[in-house]
Structure 1
Amino acid sequence: MRRDIAFDAEGTILRGWLHLPDSATGPHAVVVMAHGFTGVKEQYLDRYAEVLAAAGLAVLVFDNRNFGASDGEPRGEIDPVQQVRDYRHAITYARTMPELDRGRVGAWGTSYSGGHVLMLGAIDRRVRCVVSQVPAISGPVGSSRRIRSDLVSALRNRFDADREARFRGLAPTVLPVVAEDPTAPCALPGPDAWAFFAATRDIAPAWRNEVTLRSAEMLREYEPGTWVTRISPTPLLMIVATEDTLTPTDLALDAYNRALEPKRLVLMPGGHFDPYTGSGFEVSSAAARDWFVQHLL
C-alpha cells in the first residue's frame, strides 16, 4: 500500500510516498530513502520501495528540496549538506507516525545520496543500519576526473562570475544536467548519464534537465567519504559497480576498506546506472532488502 506524504523540513515542505507492507502488522520498521544528483522519486525508487515493502518493511521515499514534488527555491539547486539534514527531518517525521517503529529506522541512498547516508550514518544514531549504493565519496576528486585539466581554470572563472552575478541580485546560472552531445557542457557528462535520464522522461515528467551552477561548486566542497570510519557500530552495506566512472569504483572501495565492522560489500558488474534496471536491479534491490531484513526485522 502506498500513500502520499508531506512534512515540514524547518520551513520547506518535502513530499513523497509512504509504502507500507500489506502482510505485516505495525508498527513497522522503516527505511528512509531519497534519490541522487537531481533525481526524483519516480526514477525507480518506487521499485526499490516495493521490494522492501514485500519483505515486511515500510519505506518513506521523498523528493529532495528544490526537486520534483517538494518545495524549495531556487529550483534545481543542490546543497549536499542540506540534503543530509533533510534525511534527518524525514527520520524525525517517520518517528512521529504511529504505524512506524521509531526504534527501527534504516537509511538507503544512491549516487549522491549514497554519499549522504554515509555522513548520516556517522552523525545520527537513530539510524540502525545503512545501505549506500554507488556512492559519491569525494566531490573534489570525482569532479576532477570528469573534466579535462585545461578546462578547470575556465570553470573556476564561471563559478566566480556566477557568484558576482548573484551578489548583484541576479538569478543563479543554470546548466544542463546531461547532454547528448559529448562536447557540450553539463553537470554529468557521458553517454551513460544521458541514456539513463533520457530513458526515464516518460515515467518521471517532474525531472528537469537543469541544475544550478552553484550546485556544481558545492559538489566540489563535499567529502562524505571522510565520515566512513565513524559509522560503526551501525551496520553498513555498500553496493559498488565495478566500472563506475561517475562515482569512481576505486574511491568507493577505498572508503569501504576504511569503514569498520559490521560491514558488507556487494561488488556488481557494470557502470554507475546499472543497479537501477534489469539484472542489476535484481542484485542491488535484493542485497538492500536482505541487509535491512537482517538488521531491522
Structure 2
Amino acid sequence: MTRRDIEFGAEGVTLRGWFYPSEAAGESHPTIVMAHGFSAVKEQYLDRYAEVFADAGLNALVFDNRNFGDSDGEPRQEIDPWQQIRDYRHAITYATTLGEVNDDRIGVWGSSYSGGHVLVVSAIDRRVKAVVSQGAMVDGYRNLRRLVRPDFLGGFRAQFDADRLARFNGDAPATVPVVDENPLAPSALPTADSYQWFTHSGSTIAPNWRNEVTLRSVEMFGEYVPADFVEYISPTPLLMLPAVDDVLTPTDLAIETYERARAPKRIEILPGGHFDIYTDGFAQSSALACDWFVKYLVG
C-alpha cells in the first residue's frame, strides 16, 4: 500500500496527514475524508481503515486535527468541535484540488467525537455525497452527564469558571488528563476502557499521542450537540455504526439520533464496547463502512 504525506492550509494553520490513492485503475476516484475523535491522532488505527478503502477503489485522505499530532495549531491539545468541523471542510476543499480526486464523489468518515462532526459536516456541506459515523458522540450535554457523577458536576463548573477568569487575566489554559487509571480521578474520559485503549495504543502505535487536553476542551464538549443537525443530512446517505455496549458515547443516544434522521439511512449495531470497533470489531466496522461508500460513491 502506497501512501504519501500531505499538508494543507486551514485558515492560517497547516494541517498534516496522509493520502492513500485508490488501488483501482483510472485517473480519478471517489475520496473519503477522515479525522479522529477526542484527542486521538491518525496513527491510532485510521491507517487500517484508509487501507481498506483504498483496496476497494477509493482514495482516503487522513489528517490530524489541529493542535494535535503532526498538525500545527495553538493552544496545543485543545479541542474546539466547531473548528474541527471547519477543518473537515478545509480538507474536502484540499481534496478537490488533487488530480486523483473525483470532486463529485466525496465521502466523510468519523469515529467517536468526529463521528459527531461528520453528522454536522454532511448536513451543511453538499459536496459530501455519503457519510459514515461510527461510535458517534451525538449529544455532548447529555453525554457529559452520563460520564460525570452528579455530585461532581458542580466542581467541574467551578473549574471552568476559574479557568475562564485565569485566561482573561492572561494565563495559559488549564489542562486535565484525557484518561486516568482511577475513573474517579479528574479526567476528560473517565471510563476504564478509555484508559486501556488510549494508554495501550499510545505506547505501541501512536507515541505522539499525549494524555492531556485543555480544560476548556471538556467545557466545549458539554456545549456541543451534533444530533441537532441529523434531520438535515438527507438526501445524503447516512450509515451509523454504534456499539451495543458503549459506555463512553452511550448507545441509546446514538439510536435515538438515528431515528430522527431521514432516508436514505441505515444503522448496524456492532458488538462490544466503544473501542472494540477499532480492534476486535475492525473487520466488521471497516467492511460496513467500505460497502456503504462503494454503494453510493462508486455505484
Q: TM-score range by the shorter chain?
A: over 0.9
1:26 is aligned to: 27
Residue pairs, 1:146-295, within 5 angstroms: 146-201=147-202, 202-278=204-280, 280-295=281-296
Post-superposition offset of 1:182: 2.4
Whole-angstrom CA distance in 1 between matches of 2:183 and 2:194 = 11
1:119-169, Cα deviation, whole Å (9 max, x unpaired): 001000000000000101100100011111111111100000000000010
> Could you tell which deviates more after superposition, 60-69 or 200-209?
200-209
TM-score between both structures, scaled by the size of structure 2? 0.98
**Is residue 23–residue 58 contact of structure 2 (8 Å, CA) maintained in 1?**
no
1:150-207, Cα deviation, whole Å (9 max, x unpaired): 1111110000000000001000000000011222110001110011011112210110
Q: Verify: 1:65 aligned to 2:74, yes or no.
A: no
Whole-angstrom CA distance in 2 between matches of 1:119 and 1:24 = 33
Partner-residue secondary structure (3-state), 2:242: strand
Whole-angstrom CA distance in 2 between matches of 1:23 and 1:268 = 29
Partner-residue secondary structure (3-state), 1:61: strand
Residue pairs, 1:15-94, within 5 angstroms: 15-94=16-95
Partner-residue secondary structure (3-state), 1:60: strand
TM-score between both structures, scaled by the size of structure 1? 0.99
- Amino acid paired to 2:7: A
Whole-angstrom CA distance in 1 between matches of 2:273 and 2:14 = 34
Whole-angstrom CA distance in 2 between matches of 1:179 and 1:25 = 48
Post-superposition offset of 1:259: 0.4
1:87-140, Cα deviation, whole Å (9 max, x unpaired): 000000000111111111000000000000000010000000000001011001
1:2-40, Cα deviation, whole Å (9 max, x unpaired): 000000001000000000123422211100000000010
Partner-residue secondary structure (3-state), 1:200: helix
Corresponding residue pairs, total? 296
> Could you tell which deviates more after superposition, 180-189 or 103-112?
180-189
Percent identical across equivalent pairs? Answer: 60
Whole-angstrom CA distance in 1 between matches of 2:211 and 2:36 = 15
Provide the aligned C-alpha RMSD in A. 0.7
Gapped runs of 5+ residues in structure 1?
Answer: none
1:120 is aligned to: 121
Whole-angstrom CA distance in 2 between matches of 1:153 and 1:21 = 50
Partner-residue secondary structure (3-state), 1:67: coil
Partner-residue secondary structure (3-state), 1:268: coil
Partner-residue secondary structure (3-state), 1:101: strand
Partner-residue secondary structure (3-state), 1:241: coil
Whole-angstrom CA distance in 2 between matches of 1:21 and 1:106 = 14
